[in-house]
Chains A and B, each alone.
Chain A
């Protein structure tokens, strides 16, 4: 192999590396996710950077590409909040845990304090429990749940707590 050939190969490898670093790996669609192994629940989690970007995008209302990523994250959260609709134990456990992890990541870049209950429900759907004092969202794996309790005053979130469940 000539020196020129080696240089070309190195340039190509660098280009591939940069492309993968920037664009991939992509977060799978719901259909893709559900066809993957059910034994590895973390596998379908979106990379943290994408979640963070999605959260930022939501705040800045930027490009279609980012909005799409945000919607995918919110879909993971929504699926996790409806985990018990699945009869299969493995699937409900996977959905609950990935949803909970997606929520954790989402909240790192999205501060719920000050948001209205309407905004919460627009993002996450109906709460498992709702009254004048709080909205409770639950990612239930069948055995226990990860809970997110948004305390409400005058129609707005004043605090997020994480009570334990049975």
Chain B
């Protein structure tokens, strides 16, 4: 008899050989009821629940162990009581995978903290010495390829290559620390996981460079970018790039499928500017797919938000849900109600904005627009 412990939101069984669990796009406290009856379904396609066969007719509940494994090691263990019975089977409440501690603090044990690539192992004792277990990955392997919009359980993990550069400040120091960059990259991975996307850094540590020289500065003192960075999107498009923009475009790594993220001390007039391809009317592809960020004003989700600009290849949108990661301005904090979500989820459907974002971003993740 096949082991079919892990069930989808419609109670059908997952096939761990061809399917995976996914990180939810929903606001964490939305559509995650504390209890569900045996036959209840759930609207979140990435919610799942556990089912066990009872050892005998008088047994009304089963204790199930769920482990999260990362690189072979167990990183968390949770026990669940499955007590909604029908015939020989019992089921537990719906569960949800999340990626940050704020979301994990919601809904008791119903939220499970994971990263893409983790494995979820569930097991229970059906009799003394007789254990039933099943294991399933979070996201299908990167070697596969599936982007069906309504089947997130088929989605492979997609990797966006990023090159992260810190420009030296006026004092000659990197304008941002490795630790801060790691925190921002981690935040971005937490957010992008709901679309089955993670960042793949081209270097393990931040690359520190001298301030890119502007043509006019070739014989003058180095320009530091500590206070000013001129934005050339004068008419909504990049037609006449500023000297700053040309200088940074010349400092890219030459890989057309990596996003170059430049941290400078401070730019005006924004926290960050993303140079997405559809705005580039210069005819020079080097002026696409890079990001410039103020290290002294960066917010928790700035990197993730700007990467969305690049992967969606578009600017902000009218009626963006206030819980969306693509909403501007981004959140100052990582709270559950913050601007963290990527469509599709109920608010993107209600507002009819961003419902296709996961599909679009996944399509562009490994071959940039």
Contact = CB atoms under 8 A, between A and B. Distances in A.
B272 interface: yes
A146 interface: yes
A94 B237 CA distance: 11
A85 B318 contact: yes
B338 interface: no
Interface string B270-310: 11111000010000000000000010010100100110010
Interface in A67-95: 84-85, 88-94
A32 to B, nearest CB: 18
A136 B279 CA distance: 27
Given A143-B279, A145-B329, A129 B322 contact: yes
B305 A41 contact: no
B318 to A, nearest CB: 4
A140 B269 CA distance: 12
Contact of A144 (B236, B237, B271, B299): B271
A41 B235 contact: yes
Interface in A136-154: 138, 140-147
Contacts of A35: none
Interface stretch (A19-27, A58-66, A158-166): A158-166
A39 interface: yes
A156 to B, nearest CB: 24
A143 to B, nearest CB: 5
A166 B236 contact: no
A166 B269 contact: no
Nearest to B330: A166
B322 A166 contact: no
A166 B302 contact: yes
A1 B271 CA distance: 64
Contacts of A129: 322
Contacts of B315: 89, 92, 141-143
A12 B316 CA distance: 53
B151 interface: no
Interface in B238-290: 239, 269-274, 279
Contact of B269 (A90, A92, A138, A146): A146
Contacts of A166: 270-272, 299, 302, 305-306, 328-330
B1 interface: no
Interface size bucket, A side? Answer: 20 to 34
A interface majority secondary structure: mixed
B271 A164 contact: yes
B235 A39 contact: yes
A134 to B, nearest CB: 12
A143 B315 CA distance: 5
Interface string B317-330: 11000100000111
B294 A143 contact: no
B127 interface: no
Interface in A10-45: 38-41
B340 to A, nearest CB: 14
Contacts of A38: 235-236
A20 to B, nearest CB: 29
B169 to A, nearest CB: 18
Interface in B37-59: none
A144 B272 contact: yes
B233 A165 contact: no
B234 interface: yes
A166 B306 CA distance: 8
A158 B297 CA distance: 24
Given A140-B316, A164-B269, A145 B235 contact: no
Interface string A119-138: 00000000001000000001
Interface of A: 38-41, 84-85, 88-94, 129, 138, 140-147, 163-166
Given A39-B239, A164-B294, 17 more contacts: A41-B234, A84-B317, A88-B236, A90-B235, A91-B236, A93-B233, A142-B315, A143-B316, A144-B272, A164-B269, A164-B271, A165-B270, A165-B329, A165-B330, A166-B271, A166-B272, A166-B329
Chain A to chain B: the 7 pairs with minimum beta-carbon distance, closest first: A142-B315, A93-B236, A144-B270, A89-B236, A90-B236, A84-B318, A165-B329
